[in-house]
Amino acid sequence: MKFNAEMCGYCGACVSVCPNNSLELTESKIIVNENKCDDCGRCTFICPLGAFYSEEKI
Closest among 55, 40, 58 to 14, alpha carbons compared: 40
Residues in contact with ligand SF4 by CB under 6 A are: 1, 8-14, 17-18, 20, 22-23, 30, 32, 37-43, 46-47, 49, 51
Helices (H), the chain: 13-17, 42-46
Q: Minimum distance from CB of 16 to ligand SF4 (Å)?
A: 9
Q: Minimum distance from CB of 40 to ligand SF4 (Å)?
A: 4
* C-alpha distance across the termini of the chain, in Å: 12
20 vs 57, beta carbon nearer ligand SF4: 20
